[in-house]
Amino acid sequence: MLKENGLTERDLRVINLDTAAAQTALASKGIDAVFLDYSLFKLQRQGLAKIMYASRDGGTQLTRQAHLLVLDDFETAHADGRAEVRDRRGARRAMAI
């Protein structure tokens, strides 16, 4: 992603922040940029940040890995590791395996 945008690792000073700290630092101009998730849309709507790159525009080589975390009761009820995951509207979103 850096190379495609004319940058190298030497152009960056990388620091590790949790989501809340990253949002606060970006909104207060304490940092220049952040790699973060959908929570940046809130700052964008407030006029506090501009999204310069969205992963949906970068092709499949830059996709994120995701996890499905469940409570013990859910795991017990689905001991075989198979359960459909649905969104609030009831549409099927994934099959956990």
pLDDT tens-digit profile of 59-97?
A: 666 665 555 667 788 778 877 766 666 766 777 665 554
Map out the domains of the chain as residue ranges.
Answer: 1-62, 66-97
- Taking CA atoms, 71 is separated from 11, 66, 89, in Å, by 42, 17, 22
pTM beyond 0.75, yes or no:
no
Q: Quick one: pLDDT at residue 11?
A: 87
- For residue 40, with 0-12 CB atoms within 10 Å meaning exposed, 13-18 middle and 19 or more buried, which class applies? buried
Q: Are 68 and 95 in contact (CB under 8 A)?
A: no
State what percent of residues in the chain have pLDDT above 70: 67
> How far is the C-alpha of 33 from the C-alpha of 30, rounded, in Å?
9
